[in-house]
Structure 1
Amino acid sequence: MHHREKLVVIVGPTAVGKTELSLQLAGHFDGEIISGDSMQVYRGMDIGTAKASPEELARVPHHLIDIIEPDEEYSVALFQSAATRLITEINQRGHLPFIVGGTGLYIESVTHRFEFAQAEQDPELREQLQRLAAAEGVEALHRRLAEIDPITAERLHPNDVKRVIRAIEIYQLTGRKMSDYQHRAKHSPYDLVMIGLTMEREKLYERINQRVDKMIEEGLVEEVRRLLDRGYHPALTSMQGLGYKELIPYLYGEITLEKAVNDIKQRTRHFAKRQLSWFRRMAEIQWFDVTHREDRVKAGETIKKILAGKFHQLPNI
């Protein structure tokens, strides 16, 4: 029988306490942590992405943090190939890989091996489609996609021109729709334990608000100002991240700091809700409520038992 690679995944909404628990578990089981967060890949974006502190990062080996500049492209397909390779390497070292984070699409692309369109590119066709978008508007381009691939069109906003063009390109080059490619394997290829952390909504929102206040205290405004001073454009994917996007109008003198901070809190709460609904669809997740301190302690103990039983892994004592 083929020996499947071990993998532990810890998911949950932002501010629920994933970092703390993952450090504790990875320390206990000789683990290495792969960040499953689409924003922590960027260098120079530390406070707003809630990266673990240098001391925490030193406690356990971490991967996929600080790997690119804020103006470099990153995608779920790049994440998938990097994480898949890391899981193999960590298993080969005799360590236990933990993917920890809140970016559902990224994590699921690894746990359930999404297939992404590997189609070639056609620069001429791209150019032509870009001209069409410029001449007739993004809606015209989006309508064209809707005719050939309604599922992908439904998922993409007309303003997401780059992806709309990519989806049309894939169809023209392969005769297959982008939505045909992105299917999810029924069973994970890994020997997998998925842990989900949740807490009462009021408590989670309170923690989110406290976290945002703490980010401001730690110098988030200065972090965003530094990125702008270094010439990073506000329209970059990285600069559109939560906590960055909202502070830019403040730094341009368009809104008050108080309004910017409230916007961050409100958008983070909405984001947490979306994260939960993404993870709720995943049947494999074992959920733990960590609303109170004693819940967290109990969850930690139970998860240790689950992992020890599943992987016959000796704790690193």
Structure 2
Amino acid sequence: MTTESKRDVLVLLGPTAVGKTKLSLELAKAYGAEVISGDSMQVYRGMDIGTAKIRPEETEGIPHHLIDIHDPEDAYSVAEFQEQGGRLIEEISGRGKLPFIVGGTGLYIESLCYGFRFSEAVADEAFRSEQEAYAEAHGAEALHARLAAVDPESAARLHPNDRRRVIRALEVHHQTDTTLSASHAGQKKESPYRLCLIGLTMDRQVLYSRIEERIDQMLAEGLVEEVRGLLAKGYDRSLVSMQGLGYKEIAAYLEGELTLDEAVTLLKRDTRRFAKRQLSWFRHMKEIEWVETGEGRSFAEIFAEIQGVVARKLPGVSQ
């Protein structure tokens, strides 16, 4: 595909609580864009507060795609996201609108932006069962240590509680004798699109404070009740969706394994660690133009800087 025929795609990414939502709405209005959610948890229906999902009344009429498309018992994959996202980019462009990917799930966004091919390792149910049994007997940390021994890079970006992806990374190594991280690193980094990748960042301690404030707000909005409702509907804690931040900690509280204070402390700690992993993933995406959104910068300043980046990277896009 020649540069001239490539679709323009705007991307806004960054760690949780950095301020993507407000900026995304203003940018979408300015450029006539439709938003493609690049968040692996916002696909699940009924999981709203814990995923910081934008409410329908907050979208200001801007179409938002890949939100509320799965029930919590149906695991969502990066390959599914890539297929659906690619189709949406064509459809949105065909309507004369700008496809605009917004989110914080690095692997999902990068796979769509660069058309990653996924490992040819097929499911090995016996191997998976063996790893599940090991995790049950020795704990998630021990299973994660197995991955760290053979693929430290993947282990660094995956939380020990993300058992499904930890096992998949082990499975790829078991079957192909190469690591998942090497597979990703070896991908051809030429995008089928004309990309403008904008990353939001801020002082780490300020970001951590914002994360803690957001969690307090989630609790005030009814996070405990949301998780209680999901459990009451029969959504098991072992589901991929229920392993998401906010859900596994509050579920542990509701099952009597933790006090509420302990669950909230754990959630804040794990979310800070998650933000750190997000930033680590994004840092290896060399084409990102980073924009500082910390204290002392007005919204107008930040918005103007982003407009300058868009004008440079996507000269054919008009406001």
TM-score by length of 2: 0.83
Corresponding residue for residue 172 of structure 2: 167
| Unpaired runs of at least 5, structure 2 | 138-142
Matches within 5 A, 1:206-245: 206-245=209-248
1:314 aligns with 2:308: no
- Once residues 227 and 288 of structure 1 are traced to their aligned partners in structure 2, the CA distance between those partners, rounded to angstroms, is 37
1:242-282 deviations in Å (ceiling 9; x for gaps)? 01111112111232212211211111111111111111111
The reply on whether 1:26 has 2:31 as its aligned counterpart is no
Q: 1:288 to 1:159 in 2, by over 3 A?
A: closer
**Closer, same or farther: CA 133–19 of 1 in aligned 2, 3 Å:** closer
Deviation at 1:14, TM superposition (A): 0.4
Hey, what's the Cα distance between the residues in 2 that align with 1:229 and 1:114? 38
3-state DSSP of counterpart to 2:12: strand
CA deviation vs aligned residue, 1:111-142 (integer Å, no higher than 9, x gap): 12211135666xxxx4554676689x579xx9
Q: Which residue of 2 aligns with 1:12?
A: 14
Name which of 248, 263, 281 aligns with 2:251.
248
The question of whether the paired residues in 2 share the 8 Å contact of 1:117 and 1:170 is answered with no
Structure 2 residue aligned with 1:97: 99
Deviation for aligned residue 1:184: 2.2
AA in 2 matched with 1:81: E
**Ranges in structure 1 where 5+ consecutive residues have no aligned partner:** none
Identical columns (%): 49
Q: 1:158-213 CA distances to partner (integer Å, 9 max, x unpaired)? A: 96585268537965xxx998777544222222111010101112221111111101
Q: State the SS of the aligned residue for 1:245.
A: helix
Sort the Cα spacing of 1:287 and 1:250 in 2 relative to 1 into closer, same or farther, 3 A: same
Q: 1:56: how far off? A: 2.0
What amino acid maps onto 2:255 in structure 1? Y
Residue 290 (structure 2) pairs with residue 294 (structure 1): no
**Partner SS state of residue 84, structure 1:** helix
- 1:277 and 2:280 are equivalent in the alignment: yes
Residues 34 and 99, structure 1, Cα contact 8 Å, conserved in 2: yes
Q: Aligned partners of 1:130 and 1:268: how far apart in 2?
A: 27
Residues 170 and 178 in structure 1, CA contact (< 8 A), matched pair in contact too: no
**Rg larger in structure:** 1
What is the alpha-carbon distance in structure 2 between the residues aligned to residue 281 and residue 130 of structure 1?
A: 30
* C-alpha distance in structure 2 between counterparts of 1:25 and 1:17, whole Å: 13
Q: Find the aligned partners of 1:45 and 1:134 in 2 and give their Cα distance.
A: 26
AA of the residue aligned to 2:27 = L
Rate the CA distance shift 1:36–1:132 in 2: closer, same or farther, 3 A.
closer
Alignment of 1:135-150 (within 5 A): 137=134
2:62 to 60, 63, 75: 60
On the 8 A contact 1:5/1:190 being kept in 2, the answer is yes
Say whether the 8 Å CA contact 1:32–1:60 is kept in structure 2: yes
Shift of 1:288: 0.8
SS of residue matched to 1:225: helix
- The count of residues paired between Structure 1 and Structure 2 equals 301
Query: Are the counterparts in 1 of residues 29 and 62 from structure 2 also a CA contact under 8 Å?
Result: yes
Q: Does 1:305 align with 2:308?
A: yes
Task: Tell me: CA distance 1:132–1:191, structure 2 relative to 1, closer, same or farther (3 Å).
Answer: closer
Query: Structure 1: how far apart are the matches of 2:264 and 2:271?
Result: 11
